[in-house]
A = this chain, B = another copy of it.
Amino acid sequence: MSEKITIGIVDDNAALLQQLKENLTGAGNIEILFTAAHGEEALQKLPTLKKLPQVILMDIEMPVMNGIEATAIITKESEIKILILTVFDTDEKVFDAIKAGASGYLLKDSKPHRILTAIEDVLMGGAPISPHIAAKTLELLRSKTTVNKEKQPEDYNLSERETEILKLLAKGFSYQQIANELFISHGTVRKHVENIYGKLHINSKAQAVSMAHQKKWV
């Protein structure tokens, strides 16, 4: 971990920006490559940098170009991760930021160490989200989906072991691979599968794999 994490900060509030800079430079192995007061300025500065930042902390409400537009453009044209950092948490804003491709969404009152952790999370492919905001994203997600009442494997009288084997089958494993996975003999796997076929009223691996996927047993 000798390499510093390179970041940029975009925020129109000079005082907050200054405070962020201090907190981040002081605490972690962070290198701030640039700062900007709004999206437009950030887009202008990016091409002039010797190296691109790995993460950009982005405010939403800004003059000239807001953080959501900037996020959309940056994520489309580069691999830079965007971490939204804002005081706003209205449904619409959260939603727009996610659509724009933000990798995380924190409230500005988050503690400095929380922000640091978040930056690291983002680099590891995670998406740190403040609980309050996460609650809204879940609401959104729920509202966009319908119920799904698929039958469970048990409804076909599949035993636990059979279910387990079916799942491996559904991954495309051969009998021998499953046998190795479960430390049982090749023949036993075949016998289980035979029983599964009977219970599911099918008679081939392809059908089993297809059915398992369709019913979302994988």
Contacts and interface: CB of A to CB of B under 8 A. Distances in A.
Interface of A: 63, 66, 90, 92, 95-96, 98-99, 101-104, 118, 121-122, 124-132, 134-135, 137-138, 140-142, 144-148, 152, 160, 169-174, 202, 204-211, 213-214, 216, 218
A101 to B, nearest CB: 8
Nearest to A129: B134
A214 B152 CA distance: 19
Contacts of A141: 95, 98-99, 137, 140-141, 144
Contact of A204 (B90, B122, B174): B174
B170 A210 contact: yes
Contacts of A172: 202, 204, 206-211
Contacts of A122: 131
Contacts of A95: 141, 145
- For this chain, the copies found in one complex come to 2
A134 B142 contact: no
Contacts of A90: 218
Contact of A132 (B63, B125, B140): B125
A25 B116 CA distance: 29
Contacts of A202: 172
Contacts of A134: 104, 126-129, 134, 137
Given A141-B140, A207-B172, A135 B125 contact: yes
A170 B208 CA distance: 10
B98 A142 contact: yes
